């Protein structure tokens, strides 16, 4: 048995992959604990995992529209790094598994001589763009080397689909391995045409307005429309057509087997879950600085969906939704990607790779 600490942050789609891997390791008999922001306590505990909030790191919540400066201060914060190191020492953790967006934790662990593994819950091909962009610059100005933190990891596990990740076309460092998306799924079989609309639990600007345009586009279509708004948008804010219902939260894993099409924001986690159910997607990226435009472009290039602006009008959205609801090559492309995701078994592969890094871990087959 090994003692393993997972370091995360209150973002949204970054959380399920780390918790999925943590739960798999716990089920294998390892002592696993998660450290994160206080707002994550219930999510982590509902997953059956021990949780400790950051004791001194600045407060952070995804339910506000955080500026690049605030993101850089949280992700690259020395206070968060100190909290992770102190908790690792207190619990006697032999390994820390770190979210790839926490360079402050990576730097602190490296300086403390504590081994760590990085989980990339996005395309590896997006990281260079992020590090060169505004948030990466702000992190560097705080004296944190994000690239050195990534290079110092005992392993970098990319919880994504190799055939969609632009990095797969390059020669990756030996420490980088695509273990596959941390999702489960099966081919969807809806009883009636159904559209799932979900545009993130994070407080991106324009969420409610974009949701409303999608609803207006779907009005009078012969389909059932299910909207999950998350904690940021109140369903009461939306004008619902007769064929639509809106909910703050329903587990997507429960909905997707009954869905025909997913209209999403290009969040990596939601996209991979949809594809794991052989579902095509219409992607409306909510922010240019994150990975959503790249995810949408990859889905479109693979033939498994379309990408439009979040400001697309109902008149622009409606024919694309109608096209994607129908039969066509986009369904075959989504099914091909779904089969690839299911065959990778990303949760098991990532857990086994982590076990192989831990000195007294028990590596599993595969």
Question: 243 pLDDT exceeds 80?
Answer: yes
Spatial neighbors of 113 by CB under 8 A, at least 6 apart, are none
Q: How far apart are CA 7 and CA 177, in angstroms?
A: 20
DSSP conformation letters of 9-29 = -S-STTHHHHHHHHHHHHHTT
pLDDT digits (tens, 9 = 90+) for 52-110: 999 999 999 887 778 899 999 999 999 999 999 999 999 999 999 999 999 999 999 99
Across 330-353, average pLDDT: 97
Domain 194-342 part of CATH 3.30.70.3040: no
In degrees and rounded to multiples of 5, residue 183 shows phi and psi of: -145, 160
Q: How far apart are CA 122 and CA 185, in angstroms?
A: 18
- CB-based contact 246:235 (threshold 8 Å): yes
- Mean pLDDT taken over the chain: 94
Other Cβ atoms less than 10 A from the Cβ of 161: the count is 25
pLDDT at position 364: 41
Other Cβ atoms less than 10 A from the Cβ of 276: the count is 27
Burial level of 205, CB count in 10 A (0-12/13-18/19+)? exposed
Question: 350 pLDDT exceeds 50?
Answer: yes
pLDDT at position 366: 36
Binned at pLDDT 50, 70 and 90, residue 186 comes out as very high
Question: 41 pLDDT exceeds 80?
Answer: yes
pLDDT at position 122: 96
- In the chain, CATH 3.40.50.2000 covers 3-180+345-357, 194-342
Q: Which residue has the tokens 């505990």?
A: 45
Strand order in 31-36's β-sheet?
Answer: 50-53, 31-36, 3-7, 95-99, 116-120, 155-158, 176-178
3-180+345-357, CATH topology level: Rossmann fold (3.40.50)
DSSP conformation letters of 337-363 = HHHHHHHH-HHHHHHHHHHHHSTT--P
pLDDT at position 360: 54
Burial level of 366, CB count in 10 A (0-12/13-18/19+)? exposed
Question: 171 pLDDT exceeds 90?
Answer: no
Name which of 283, 302, 304 is nearest 293 in CA terms. 283
Instruction: State both tokens at 7.
Output: 């370091």
Looking at the chain, which runs of residues are DSSP E strands? 3-7, 31-36, 50-53, 95-99, 116-120, 155-158, 176-178, 194-198, 224-228, 244-247, 261-264, 281-283, 305-307
Name which of 351, 360, 361 is nearest 97 in CA terms. 351
pLDDT at position 365: 36
pLDDT at position 217: 98
pLDDT at position 170: 86
């Amino acid at each position: 048995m090994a003692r393993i600490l997972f370091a995360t942050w209150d973002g949204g789609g970054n959380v399920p992959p780390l918790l999925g891997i943590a739960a798999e390791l716990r089920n294998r008999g390892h002592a696993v604990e998660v450290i994160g922001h206080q707002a994550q306590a219930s999510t982590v505990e509902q997953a059956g995992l021990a949780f400790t909030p950051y004791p001194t790191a600045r407060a952070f919540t995804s339910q506000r529209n955080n500026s690049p400066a605030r993101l850089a201060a949280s992700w690259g914060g020395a206070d968060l790094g100190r909290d992770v190191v102190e908790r690792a020492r207190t619990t006697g953790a032999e390994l820390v598994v770190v979210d790839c967006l926490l360079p402050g934790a990576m730097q602190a662990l490296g300086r403390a001589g504590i081994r760590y593994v990085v989980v990339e819950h996005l395309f590896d091909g997006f990281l260079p763009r992020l590090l060169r962009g505004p948030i990466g610059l702000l992190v560097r100005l705080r004296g944190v080397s994000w690239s050195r933190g990534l290079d110092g990891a005992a392993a970098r596990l990319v919880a994504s689909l190799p055939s969609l990740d632009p990095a797969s076309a390059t020669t990756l460092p030996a420490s980088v391995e695509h273990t596959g998306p941390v999702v489960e799924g099966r081919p969807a079989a809806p009883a009636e045409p159904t559209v799932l609309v979900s545009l993130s639990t994070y407080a991106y600007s324009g969420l409610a307005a974009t949701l409303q345009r999608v609803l207006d586009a779907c009005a009078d279509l012969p389909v059932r429309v299910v909207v999950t708004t998350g904690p940021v948008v109140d369903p009461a804010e939306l004008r619902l057509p007769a064929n639509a219902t809106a909910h703050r939260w329903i587990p997507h894993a429960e909905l997707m087997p009954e869905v025909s099409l997913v209209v999403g924001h290009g969040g990596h986690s939601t996209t991979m879950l949809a594809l794991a159910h052989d579902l095509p997607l219409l992607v409306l990226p909510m922010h240019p600085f994150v990975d959503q435009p790249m995810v949408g472009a990859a889905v479109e290039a693979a033939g498994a969906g379309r990408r439009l602006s979040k400001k697309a009008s109902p008149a622009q959205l409606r024919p694309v939704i109608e096209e994607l609801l129908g039969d066509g090559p986009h369904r075959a492309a989504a099914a091909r990607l779904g089969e690839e995701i299911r065959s990778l078994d990303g949760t098991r592969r990532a857990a086994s790779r982590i076990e192989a890094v831990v000195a007294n871990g028990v590596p599993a087959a595969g």
